[in-house]
A = this chain, B = another copy of it.
Amino acid sequence: MLEFVQLSAANREEGWGVAVKLLEDRIRQDGQVLGADVLKVDSFLNHQIDPDLMAALGTEFYQRFKDVPITKILTVESSGIAPALAAGMAFHKPVVFARKHKSLTLKDHLYTAEVYSFTKKTANTIAIATKFLGPDDHVLIIDDFLANGQAVEGLIDIIAQAQAHLEGVGVVIEKSFQKGRALLDQRHIHVEALARIAAFENGQVIFKED
């Protein structure tokens, strides 16, 4: 990891971190484009996980948000847990993951929000115990994907209920052609996406040029 951090610092002047290069190469090599807007990355990100890549991504999130006073990292189960934990290890700050429920009748001591999944075409309630988020918290949201932004919106809703401060949103892969990023930009939220996908063309991933 030390070698990685040094390399990353050196390459930052060229405009990208080593982690971003690793991630984009991996997406090109192992990602599967399905239909018009689905990218399957289950061989290294959200079913099988490459822990070394994940550690590199965690360090990259730290590089991008290290000047912000983060007290807590927030994500949603299950796919968000690995990148959030990797970031938490780099920040040395607690990670809280919201749990998904089909429905919740008992909401005592919980912050809850409704999240619609366009992929699965179902709505879930996400919930976090109130004791783990409060007005003194400065929160970094981490997730694997930013597409339509529903999960992030749910977490922002919960952060508002807790009267905590949202400091930024870090995602591993952003599908820039879907509405999630634009919605966050409109609200002047600091978003860092490690890989930004402009489009899928003939089954190939076209990355956004920064």
Contacts and interface: CB of A to CB of B under 8 A. Distances in A.
Interface of A: 42-43, 47-52, 54-55, 77-78, 81-82, 85-86, 88-89, 91-97, 99, 128-129, 131-132
A93 B47 contact: no
- Count of chain copies: 2
B86 A49 contact: no
A157 B91 CA distance: 38
Contact of A51 (B52, B78, B94): B94
Given A49-B94, A51-B94, 10 more contacts: A43-B131, A43-B132, A47-B97, A47-B132, A48-B95, A48-B129, A48-B132, A50-B94, A54-B85, A77-B78
A65 to B, nearest CB: 15
Nearest to A132: B48
